[in-house]
Amino acid sequence: MKTIGLIGGMSWESTVPYYQIINETVREKLGGLHSAKIILHSVEFDEIERCQSMNQWDKAADILGSAARGLELAGADFILICTNTMHKVFHEVQSFVSVPVYHIAELTADELEKNAIARVGLLGTKYTMKEDFYRKVLTDRHIDVLIPDSEEDISLVNTVIFEELCLGIIKDSSRREYLRIIEDLTRRGAQGIIMGCTEIGLLVHQEDTDTPLFDTTYIHAKAAAEKALTD
Protein backbone atom coordinates (compact mmCIF):
# COMPACT_ATOMS: atom_id res chain seq x y z
CA MET A 1 0.00 0.00 0.00
CA LYS A 2 1.29 3.44 -0.92
CA THR A 3 1.38 6.30 1.59
CA ILE A 4 -0.94 9.24 0.89
CA GLY A 5 0.18 12.78 1.71
CA LEU A 6 -2.60 15.28 2.45
CA ILE A 7 -2.21 19.07 2.52
CA GLY A 8 -5.28 19.88 4.58
CA GLY A 9 -6.76 22.51 6.84
CA MET A 10 -8.36 24.60 4.06
CA SER A 11 -10.65 24.37 5.95
CA TRP A 12 -10.19 21.58 8.49
CA GLU A 13 -13.98 21.06 8.30
CA SER A 14 -13.53 19.51 4.85
CA THR A 15 -10.27 17.72 5.68
CA VAL A 16 -12.14 15.48 8.13
CA PRO A 17 -14.19 13.82 5.32
CA TYR A 18 -10.98 13.18 3.34
CA TYR A 19 -9.61 11.07 6.18
CA GLN A 20 -12.90 9.23 6.60
CA ILE A 21 -13.53 8.56 2.89
CA ILE A 22 -9.99 7.33 2.26
CA ASN A 23 -10.07 4.93 5.20
CA GLU A 24 -13.59 3.70 4.43
CA THR A 25 -12.55 2.99 0.84
CA VAL A 26 -9.48 1.03 1.93
CA ARG A 27 -11.54 -1.00 4.41
CA GLU A 28 -14.15 -1.66 1.73
CA LYS A 29 -11.47 -2.88 -0.69
CA LEU A 30 -9.36 -4.94 1.73
CA GLY A 31 -11.74 -5.76 4.58
CA GLY A 32 -10.90 -6.56 8.16
CA LEU A 33 -8.87 -4.01 10.11
CA HIS A 34 -7.16 -2.50 7.07
CA SER A 35 -6.79 1.27 6.95
CA ALA A 36 -4.90 3.78 4.83
CA LYS A 37 -1.35 5.00 5.31
CA ILE A 38 -1.80 8.78 5.55
CA ILE A 39 0.48 11.69 6.42
CA LEU A 40 -1.36 14.98 7.03
CA HIS A 41 0.06 18.48 6.99
CA SER A 42 -2.73 20.78 8.16
CA VAL A 43 -1.98 24.42 7.35
CA GLU A 44 -3.21 27.50 9.20
CA PHE A 45 -6.17 28.50 7.06
CA ASP A 46 -6.35 32.14 8.17
CA GLU A 47 -2.87 32.63 6.70
CA ILE A 48 -3.92 31.02 3.41
CA GLU A 49 -7.16 33.01 3.19
CA ARG A 50 -5.24 36.27 3.72
CA CYS A 51 -2.95 35.30 0.85
CA GLN A 52 -6.03 34.74 -1.32
CA SER A 53 -7.76 38.00 -0.44
CA MET A 54 -4.53 40.02 -0.79
CA ASN A 55 -3.65 38.37 -4.11
CA GLN A 56 -0.45 36.93 -2.64
CA TRP A 57 -0.62 33.66 -4.54
CA ASP A 58 3.18 33.28 -4.70
CA LYS A 59 3.32 33.30 -0.91
CA ALA A 60 0.49 30.75 -0.74
CA ALA A 61 2.33 28.57 -3.26
CA ASP A 62 5.46 28.65 -1.10
CA ILE A 63 3.47 27.63 1.99
CA LEU A 64 1.80 24.70 0.23
CA GLY A 65 4.95 23.77 -1.66
CA SER A 66 6.92 23.57 1.59
CA ALA A 67 4.14 21.42 3.06
CA ALA A 68 4.32 19.14 0.03
CA ARG A 69 8.10 18.82 0.33
CA GLY A 70 7.74 17.89 3.99
CA LEU A 71 5.18 15.22 3.12
CA GLU A 72 7.51 13.76 0.50
CA LEU A 73 10.42 13.70 2.96
CA ALA A 74 8.15 12.01 5.50
CA GLY A 75 7.43 9.19 3.04
CA ALA A 76 4.38 10.20 1.01
CA ASP A 77 4.21 8.43 -2.36
CA PHE A 78 1.79 11.01 -3.74
CA ILE A 79 0.02 14.13 -2.52
CA LEU A 80 -3.43 15.73 -2.53
CA ILE A 81 -4.17 19.42 -2.01
CA CYS A 82 -7.43 19.06 -0.05
CA THR A 83 -9.18 22.11 -1.50
CA ASN A 84 -10.32 23.22 -4.94
CA THR A 85 -9.32 26.89 -4.82
CA MET A 86 -5.67 26.31 -4.02
CA HIS A 87 -5.25 24.32 -7.22
CA LYS A 88 -4.65 27.80 -8.61
CA VAL A 89 -1.04 27.13 -7.47
CA PHE A 90 -1.08 23.43 -8.39
CA HIS A 91 1.85 23.61 -10.81
CA GLU A 92 3.99 25.58 -8.36
CA VAL A 93 3.29 23.02 -5.61
CA GLN A 94 4.12 20.15 -7.97
CA SER A 95 7.48 21.80 -8.71
CA PHE A 96 8.48 21.41 -5.04
CA VAL A 97 8.31 17.60 -5.13
CA SER A 98 9.21 14.63 -7.31
CA VAL A 99 6.15 12.56 -6.33
CA PRO A 100 2.81 13.12 -8.12
CA VAL A 101 0.30 15.68 -6.91
CA TYR A 102 -3.13 14.56 -8.12
CA HIS A 103 -5.29 17.39 -9.46
CA ILE A 104 -8.83 17.52 -8.10
CA ALA A 105 -10.31 18.91 -11.34
CA GLU A 106 -8.65 16.24 -13.49
CA LEU A 107 -10.10 13.48 -11.33
CA THR A 108 -13.48 15.21 -11.38
CA ALA A 109 -13.30 15.39 -15.18
CA ASP A 110 -12.66 11.63 -15.21
CA GLU A 111 -15.86 11.13 -13.23
CA LEU A 112 -17.85 13.46 -15.49
CA GLU A 113 -16.69 11.56 -18.56
CA LYS A 114 -17.70 8.24 -16.98
CA ASN A 115 -21.18 9.69 -16.56
CA ALA A 116 -21.31 11.18 -20.08
CA ILE A 117 -21.63 14.74 -18.73
CA ALA A 118 -20.82 17.26 -21.47
CA ARG A 119 -22.16 20.42 -19.79
CA VAL A 120 -21.79 20.99 -16.07
CA GLY A 121 -22.54 23.69 -13.51
CA LEU A 122 -19.68 24.75 -11.24
CA LEU A 123 -20.12 26.04 -7.68
CA GLY A 124 -17.18 27.05 -5.52
CA THR A 125 -15.31 30.08 -4.25
CA LYS A 126 -15.30 33.15 -6.47
CA TYR A 127 -11.76 32.24 -7.54
CA THR A 128 -12.78 28.76 -8.65
CA MET A 129 -15.92 29.91 -10.45
CA LYS A 130 -14.56 32.98 -12.23
CA GLU A 131 -10.90 32.25 -13.00
CA ASP A 132 -9.48 29.94 -15.64
CA PHE A 133 -7.19 27.73 -13.53
CA TYR A 134 -10.00 25.28 -12.71
CA ARG A 135 -12.44 25.67 -15.57
CA LYS A 136 -9.70 25.26 -18.20
CA VAL A 137 -8.95 21.75 -16.94
CA LEU A 138 -12.56 20.87 -17.75
CA THR A 139 -12.87 22.75 -21.04
CA ASP A 140 -9.62 21.16 -22.22
CA ARG A 141 -11.44 17.85 -21.71
CA HIS A 142 -14.33 19.16 -23.88
CA ILE A 143 -16.67 19.73 -20.93
CA ASP A 144 -18.71 22.94 -21.11
CA VAL A 145 -18.79 24.82 -17.79
CA LEU A 146 -21.60 27.05 -16.50
CA ILE A 147 -21.40 29.27 -13.42
CA PRO A 148 -24.14 31.36 -11.75
CA ASP A 149 -25.15 34.12 -14.15
CA SER A 150 -25.32 36.99 -11.66
CA GLU A 151 -22.66 38.60 -9.50
CA GLU A 152 -25.11 38.44 -6.60
CA ASP A 153 -25.34 34.65 -6.80
CA ILE A 154 -21.58 34.27 -7.24
CA SER A 155 -21.09 36.42 -4.14
CA LEU A 156 -23.71 34.44 -2.22
CA VAL A 157 -22.06 31.10 -2.98
CA ASN A 158 -18.65 32.49 -1.99
CA THR A 159 -19.90 34.14 1.21
CA VAL A 160 -21.65 30.99 2.43
CA ILE A 161 -18.40 29.06 1.97
CA PHE A 162 -16.14 31.43 3.89
CA GLU A 163 -18.53 32.82 6.50
CA GLU A 164 -20.54 29.68 7.24
CA LEU A 165 -19.26 26.33 5.96
CA CYS A 166 -15.58 26.91 6.79
CA LEU A 167 -16.73 27.71 10.33
CA GLY A 168 -18.90 24.61 10.59
CA ILE A 169 -22.14 26.63 10.32
CA ILE A 170 -24.91 24.87 8.35
CA LYS A 171 -28.03 26.91 7.59
CA ASP A 172 -31.23 25.68 5.95
CA SER A 173 -31.64 29.12 4.38
CA SER A 174 -28.26 28.79 2.65
CA ARG A 175 -29.16 25.29 1.48
CA ARG A 176 -32.32 26.67 -0.10
CA GLU A 177 -30.34 29.38 -1.89
CA TYR A 178 -27.81 26.85 -3.21
CA LEU A 179 -30.64 24.63 -4.43
CA ARG A 180 -32.21 27.62 -6.18
CA ILE A 181 -28.91 28.29 -7.97
CA ILE A 182 -28.54 24.60 -8.85
CA GLU A 183 -32.04 24.62 -10.31
CA ASP A 184 -31.18 27.69 -12.38
CA LEU A 185 -27.99 26.07 -13.72
CA THR A 186 -30.00 22.97 -14.59
CA ARG A 187 -32.54 25.07 -16.50
CA ARG A 188 -29.63 26.57 -18.45
CA GLY A 189 -28.56 23.12 -19.57
CA ALA A 190 -26.27 21.76 -16.88
CA GLN A 191 -26.44 17.94 -16.81
CA GLY A 192 -24.81 17.88 -13.40
CA ILE A 193 -23.26 20.15 -10.77
CA ILE A 194 -19.67 20.15 -9.58
CA MET A 195 -19.53 20.93 -5.88
CA GLY A 196 -16.23 22.66 -6.55
CA CYS A 197 -15.44 23.59 -2.99
CA THR A 198 -14.64 20.84 -0.55
CA GLU A 199 -17.05 22.30 2.03
CA ILE A 200 -20.18 22.33 -0.16
CA GLY A 201 -20.85 18.65 0.52
CA LEU A 202 -21.46 19.62 4.14
CA LEU A 203 -24.47 21.68 3.02
CA VAL A 204 -26.00 20.09 -0.08
CA HIS A 205 -26.59 16.36 -0.60
CA GLN A 206 -27.81 14.29 -3.52
CA GLU A 207 -31.17 13.64 -1.86
CA ASP A 208 -31.82 17.41 -1.94
CA THR A 209 -32.01 17.59 -5.76
CA ASP A 210 -32.70 15.51 -8.86
CA THR A 211 -29.70 17.07 -10.62
CA PRO A 212 -26.62 14.81 -10.37
CA LEU A 213 -24.08 16.22 -7.92
CA PHE A 214 -20.35 15.62 -8.21
CA ASP A 215 -18.77 16.07 -4.79
CA THR A 216 -15.10 16.87 -5.38
CA THR A 217 -14.13 15.89 -1.83
CA TYR A 218 -15.52 12.40 -2.33
CA ILE A 219 -14.09 12.06 -5.85
CA HIS A 220 -10.60 13.23 -4.81
CA ALA A 221 -10.43 11.15 -1.63
CA LYS A 222 -11.82 7.96 -3.16
CA ALA A 223 -9.44 8.19 -6.11
CA ALA A 224 -6.53 8.64 -3.70
CA ALA A 225 -7.45 5.47 -1.80
CA GLU A 226 -7.74 3.51 -5.05
CA LYS A 227 -4.39 4.83 -6.29
CA ALA A 228 -2.77 3.86 -3.00
CA LEU A 229 -3.94 0.30 -3.55
CA THR A 230 -3.53 -0.13 -7.30
CA ASP A 231 -0.89 2.22 -8.77
β strands within the chain, DSSP E = 3-8, 37-42, 78-81, 119-123, 144-146, 192-195, 213-215
Catalytic residue (one of 51, 197, 198, 216): 197
Give the pairing type, strands 37-42 and 144-146: unpaired
φ and ψ of 124, to 5 deg? 180, -160
What span, in angstroms and rounded, lies between the C-alpha atoms of 48 and 42? 11
Catalytic residue flag (residue 197): yes
Sheet with 119-123, strands from edge to edge, namely 144-146, 119-123, 192-195, 213-215
Catalytic residue (one of 15, 25, 83, 186): 83
Active site residues: 83, 197
